[in-house]
Structures are given as structure tokens and as C-alpha cells.
């Protein structure tokens, strides 16, 4: 995802992602008419994460749940596992976390990989029909930004349960080093209306307002216009900016230390921004697992390494 300017705090969307043809998967993986089951590339093997339990102050009611949505992609699965591990490790109430994973295919391999790595994780997987956006995507400055799963967040609200009013969307190239409940509980009222630049890789979304506002269709309209007139060069971010036009609420910059993956062309190393940190985000071309494996890591990549559960990784925590 595109990085967000150092002078602008992380915004929180008033409503997100309306997902269309996303079907929740079950452990039985029954065949559904009209859906093609495709084999995914071989996935890495991950170590089983330790179990995490709630503190005494945690509630156990449905209202105490914290919903987190992420995408699943074979090229980013290692980052997803590290992100989930970091969320659990730093959460006061880890058993209250509910994960919603979106995948381009109905893939039992993804389900099995998550289940074996996090046996006690509360999660659901959903299939996203990439044909929904394939014909709407315009070529951008980096091929990774042109992948259909990069646009799945636009459709998230349609697949989530109708009684879910809020969800946190997270990219797969980040780790959380603070209690995610703090971000979940942020006040989303008194939003601004001044057009501003923000990063869509970390968003708290009012799902009801996204649905009622018809934001999915509005984003698609800008994508269609982009196909005809070529207005921007940066993947799925610009249509979000154009549609929302400042109709967002900002939170502290600590919740998106973005740009750690460098720019979108060379992915050169970058330093941390000044100030406290709650979330580290490797937006940009450089990904920490690739740089660590190449033995050419940036200094900030060593902050990601302790959350790496890749079985053959030399950089993960010792068991």
C-alpha cells in the first residue's frame, strides 16, 4: 500500500469496504455450484504460536469482540502470520480478537495453515471473486499494487455479518506493538471534512456508514473513470482519497509508522519517524521477510523479525 505523509496522522474511515461475492468458508470445504476450486502455490511452513489467554479484566460477551480484517495471499502469507502473532502477543484480551481473512480462492491450504499455526485463533475465511475488480484495475507504478486482492478492502462490508458495526482493516506487511483495543475504542465522531492524504493499510471502519453511503459504488465509479482518462498512478489508494475527500477521523500517528518498506520503485531503507510507536508498517516496495532472507536487511527489519513464525527462518524467536 502507498505510504502516508509524515505530517498527516493516520485517519480512520467512516465506513469501509463492501465485499461482494465473498463466501465464508467452513471446515468442511464443501463444493459450491458456480465456484471453481483452484490450487494455491505451496505455502511456507510455520511454527505453532503459543496460546494467549485473556486477562482477568476482559469481558466474554459478544460486545467485547474486536474484529480485524486482513487479506490472504501466498506472496504475503508470511507477513500475515507475523501480523496476527504481534496482535495476539500485545493484546490484553487476545481471546476477544476475531479475525476475518479474505482470499482470492477457496483454498483449504490457507485455512489449514492458519489453524496449525494458531490452533486457538477465532477466525473465518472468505473467498473474494477477483473478477469483480480485474477489469476495473488500471496499471500503476508498481505491479504489486495492481493485484485484485489489493482492492478487496473496497468490498468488505458486504461480506461481514450485518450486526457488525466496526472493523479494523490491516495490511499484511505490518506488526502491532501495542494493545489493538486502544485503536478499536477510538472515538469516530467529530470527523473532519478537509481533503487530506491518508494510508488505507490501517483503517478503523464504520461498516454501517460505508454501506449506507454507497461508498463501494462510488469507488468503482472513480476506477472506471481512471480506466478512461488516467488520473492517477498509485493503485487502490487514490479512489479512496477522492471518494472520502476528508470525510474521515484521524488518530495518533503512532498507529501507522508507515513507509518502512521504502519507496515504490527501489524500496530503499528508511528510518523510524520520531515519537512513540504502536504499529510498524512496511508500506512501499521493500518487505522485511524478503530483505532478511536476502541477508541485506534494513535496520528496521530487525523489529519485524521477532514475530516471524516461518519454520526455517533464522530470524524468528527461539522456542
| Residue ranges of E strands in the chain | 11-13, 23-24, 66-72, 97-103, 123-127, 166-170, 174-176, 202-206, 248-250, 279-281
pLDDT at 218: 92
What is the arithmetic mean of pLDDT over 40-55?
89
Between 31 and 121, where is the model more confident? 121
Q: What is the mean pLDDT of residues 122-129?
A: 89
Confidence band for 79, pLDDT divided at 50, 70 and 90: very high
Confidence band for 97, pLDDT divided at 50, 70 and 90: very high
DSSP codes of every residue in 220-277: HHHHHHHHHH---SSTTHHHHHHHHTT-EEE--GGG-B--TT--SSS----PPPSS--
CB 65 within 8 A of CB 89: no
DSSP 95-124: GGEEEEEEESS--HHHHHHHHHH-TT--EE
CA neighbor of 173 nearest in space, from 260, 87, 94, 107: 260
**What is the rounded average pLDDT for all residues in the chain?**
81
Task: Provide the pLDDT for residue 29.
Answer: 30
**How far is 12 from 249, CA to CA, in rounded Å?**
5
For residues 144 and 285, give the distance between their C-alpha atoms in angstroms, rounded to a whole number. 8
Q: How far apart are CA 233 and CA 226, in angstroms?
A: 9
Determine the 3-state secondary structure of 125 from DSSP. Answer: strand
CATH architecture of 62-253: Alpha-Beta Complex (3.90)
The alpha carbon dihedral of 73, 88, 97, 258 has a sign of negative
Does residue 31 surpass a pLDDT of 50?
Answer: no
Could you give the CA distance from residue 205 to residue 277 in angstroms, rounded to a whole number? 21
d(CA 286, CA 263): 8
Cβ(301)–Cβ(291) below 8 Å: yes
Confidence of residue 152 (pLDDT cuts 50, 70, 90): confident
| pLDDT at position 234 | 60
Identify the top-confidence range among 116-130, 139-153, 234-248. Answer: 116-130
Is pLDDT larger for residue 133 or for residue 14?
133
| Residues pairing with 166 in the sheet | 206
Q: Where are the domains of the chain?
A: 62-253
Name which of 222, 239, 283 is nearest 10 in CA terms. Answer: 283
Amino acid at each position: 500500500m502507498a505510504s502516508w505523509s509524515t505530517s498527516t496522522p493516520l485517519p480512520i474511515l467512516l465506513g469501509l469496504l463492501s465485499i461482494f461475492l465473498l463466501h465464508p468458508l467452513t471446515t468442511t470445504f464443501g463444493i459450491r455450484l458456480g465456484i471453481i476450486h483452484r490450487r494455491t502455490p505451496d505455502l511456507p511452513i510455520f511454527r505453532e504460536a503459543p496460546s494467549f489467554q485473556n486477562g482477568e479484566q476482559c469481558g466474554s460477551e459478544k460486545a467485547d469482540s474486536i474484529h480485524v480484517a486482513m487479506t490472504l495471499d501466498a506472496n504475503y502469507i508470511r507477513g500475515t502470520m507475523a501480523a496476527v502473532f504481534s496482535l495476539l502477543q500485545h493484546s490484553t484480551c487476545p481471546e476477544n480478537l476475531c479475525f476475518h481473512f479474505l482470499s482470492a480462492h477457496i483454498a483449504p491450504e490457507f485455512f489449514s495453515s492458519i489453524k496449525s499455526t494458531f490452533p486457538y485463533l477465532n477466525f473465518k475465511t472468505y473467498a473474494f471473486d477477483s473478477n469483480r475488480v480485474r477489469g476495473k484495475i488500471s496499471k500503476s507504478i508498481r505491479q504489486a499494487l495492481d493485484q485484485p486482492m489489493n482492492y478487496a478492502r473496497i468490498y468488505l462490508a458486504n461480506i461481514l455479518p450485518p450486526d457488525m458495526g466496526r472493523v479494523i482493516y490491516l495490511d499484511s506487511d505490518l506488526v502491532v506493538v501495542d494493545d489493538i483495543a486502544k485503536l478499536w475504542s477510538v472515538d469516530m465522531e467529530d470527523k473532519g471534512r478537509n481533503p487530506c492524504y491518508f494510508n488505507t493499510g490501517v483503517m478503523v471502519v464504520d461498516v454501517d456508514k460505508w454501506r449506507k453511503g454507497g461508498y463501494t459504488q462510488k469507488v468503482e465509479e472513480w476506477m472506471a473513470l481512471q480506466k478512461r482518462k488516467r488520473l492517477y498512478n498509485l493503485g487502490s489508494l487514490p479512489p479512496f482519497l477522492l471518494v472520502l475527500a476528508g470525510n474521515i477521523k484521524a488518530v495518533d500517528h503512532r498507529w501507522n509508522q508507515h513507509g518502512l518498506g521504502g519507496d515504490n520503485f527501489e524500496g530503499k531503507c528508511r528510518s523510524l519517524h520520531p515519537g512513540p510507536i504502536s504499529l510498524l508498517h512496511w508500506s512501499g516496495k521493500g518487505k522485511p521477510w524478503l530483505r532478511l532472507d536476502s541477508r541485506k536487511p534494513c535496520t528496521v527489519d530487525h523489529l519485524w523479525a521477532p514475530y516471524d513464525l516461518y519454520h526455517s527462518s533464522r530470524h524468528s524467536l527461539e522456542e
